[in-house]
A = this chain, B = another copy of it.
Amino acid sequence: MKDMLGREEVLSVEDAKGLILKSADFILPHEIEIRIENSLNRILSRDIVSRENLPPFARSTVDGFSVRASDTFGAVETAPAYLNIPHEILMGEEPSFSLTSGEAARISTGGMLPENADAVVMLEHCCTVSEKLIEVLRPAAPGENVIQAGEDCKSGDIILRKGHRLRPQDLGVLAGTGITNVWIYEKPVAAIISTGDEVVPPFGPITTGKIRDINSYVLAGMVETAGGTPVNKGIFPDNYDVLKEVIEDSFKESDLIIISGGSSVGAKDLTAKLINSLGEPGILFHGVSVKPGKPIIYGIANGRPVFGLPGHPAAITVCFELFILPVLRMLTGEKNNLYSRIKKTVRARLSKNISTGSGREEHIRVMLEQRDGGIWAVPVLGKSGLITTLVKADGTIVIPLHKTGLQQGAEVDVELF
């Protein structure tokens, strides 16, 4: 695309995200059944319907005496209600009696109310006259200090919906309603293909001119954090036939393919050619106005999203957050939960002037420092080919497309890693 002056126009981050959303018609991973003990953070593939009332019976929420509320109406300290205690309620057992008028039964928190009892008076509002007689000093309203049968949920209620990510409290409601297994989506598998004739693994000796693989490990960590399963396919030379075979092999077992490396012009052309050769529609965009990360390629081949990433670590992380993460999330099956996607941010003040004006949305790595009674964001400057700048940083700030920089002291929101 060219602008009015004939310059090559590069897609904005928003437009690129829009193209990704429009293309999002992916096949979700299979569902499997697992025990709830292993289901934390997994995504439900079916609605969950309770088969039991919770609680199954009316329970007391306090230690006290179960009563017929009407027996306590009008009770005050100077004219208490006198109630007989002919029975006892054992914890975890069904009372074998029903209350008649003028009777109460001692009950513990969580105990089951006897028949005809409809309220519980707290211990603190009773006086023991004898082992078999109490004074009630305040009236109890019907239902007071009682959780009714099915008040938490009823048999037949949908307690959790398909697409929900299971949190600790969700495991609680499953256990509480007797559900020990759930159907969830398998984690989406992301194949990570590292290219470059100069790249060697972290293990083994290294000869001059070679560099150890960094990007596959960063990507694998990011995929895992996002709820996917990374599969490191290995390191391959910048060769069309070799890479084509690896990608085709990845289609068999992966939901998403990430090709990392290839910052050089030749490598970028190769990745683009590969994505276009593997099936319709092929490349959807090539190049986005973001710094670092501009040369990113996105396409769909064989129904699978395929990303070609530039080789610099800082570009890898920015491209992942902006473009791969949304795709990976769709593939997890998690339903749009606005709030589960909010990032951890810290408001800080910028420690020095930053001038950008690259005509691209810039993502700047910053360290946080606490001094002068405030939090300061200190830019970690350095070439985007360095990994240690990312290691030193606590998060990033974003300078929008059309800003030319930020002044020292400006308030910024730091997105924490």
Is the pair B92, A217 in contact by a Cβ cutoff of 8 Å?
A: no
B198 A91 Cβ-Cβ under 8 A: yes
| Contact A57 to B209, CB < 8 A, known contacts A220-B37, A383-B147 | yes
CA distance A199 to B93 in the complex (A): 11
A217 touches B36 (CB 8 A): yes
How many residues on A have C-beta within 8 angstroms of the other chain's C-beta atoms?
A: 100
Pairs A–B under 8 Å by Cβ, sample size 6? A54-B388, A112-B198, A171-B220, A172-B215, A172-B390, A172-B391
Bits for A335-358, please: 1 = Cβ < 8 Å to B, else 0: 000111011101000000000000
A176 within 8 A of B: yes
With the chains together, A198 CA to B266 CA distance in Å?
70
CA of A391 to CA of B338 in the docked complex: distance in angstroms?
16
CB nearest to A207 among chain B residues: B94
Determine how close the nearest CB of chain B comes to the CB of A323; give it in whole angstroms: 16
Residue ID in chain B nearest A202 by CB atoms = B175
Contacts of A123 in B (CB 8 A): 265
Name the residue among A93, A108, A203, A342 with the largest chain B CB count within 10 angstroms.
A108
Residues of B within 8 A of A213 (CB): 175-176
The digit string for A353-378, where 1 denotes a CB below 8 A from any CB of B, is 00000000000000010100000000
A276 at the interface (CB under 8 A from B): no
A416 interfacial contact with B, CB 8 Å: yes
A179 within 8 A of B: yes
Residues from chain B with a CB closer than 8 A to the CB of A23 are: none
Structural contact, A171 and B338, CB atoms closer than 8 A: no
Point out the residue from B94, B160, B217, B267 that lies within 8 Å of A174, measured CB to CB: B217
Contact of A391 with B160 in the complex, beta carbons under 8 Å:
yes
- Within 8 Å by CB of A387, from B54, B57, B338, B395, lies B54
* Given known contacts A197-B92, A385-B59, A266 and B108 CB-to-CB distance under 8 angstroms: yes
Q: Is A313 an interface residue (CB 8 A)?
A: yes
Partner-contacting stretch, out of A9-17, A133-141, A162-170, A399-407? A162-170
Contact: B175 with A214, CB < 8 Å? Answer: yes
Min C-beta distance of A54 to chain B, whole Å: 7
Residue A417 interfacial (CB < 8 Å): yes
User: Contact mask A123-138 → B, CB, 8 Å, 1/0?
Assistant: 1000000000000000
Q: Are B198 and A417 in contact (CB under 8 A)?
A: no
Does the CB pair B110–A338 fall under 8 Å?
Answer: no
Interface residue from B95, B209, B391 paired with A173 (Cβ < 8 Å) = B391
Q: Which residues of B contact A388 (CB under 8 A)?
A: 54, 152-153, 159, 173
Contact: A197 with B57, CB < 8 Å? no
Report chain B residues within 8 Å CB of A110.
Answer: 196, 198, 211, 263-264, 311
- Quote the shortest CB–CB distance from A268 to chain B (angstroms): 9
Residues of chain B within 8 A (CB-CB) of A273 are: none
A382 vs B142: C-alpha distance when bound (angstroms): 17
Question: 16 more A-B contacts (CB under 8 A) besides A95-B209, A171-B218?
Answer: A56-B206, A56-B210, A57-B208, A61-B385, A92-B199, A108-B265, A110-B264, A111-B264, A167-B417, A169-B387, A170-B391, A172-B215, A174-B217, A176-B211, A177-B212, A178-B202
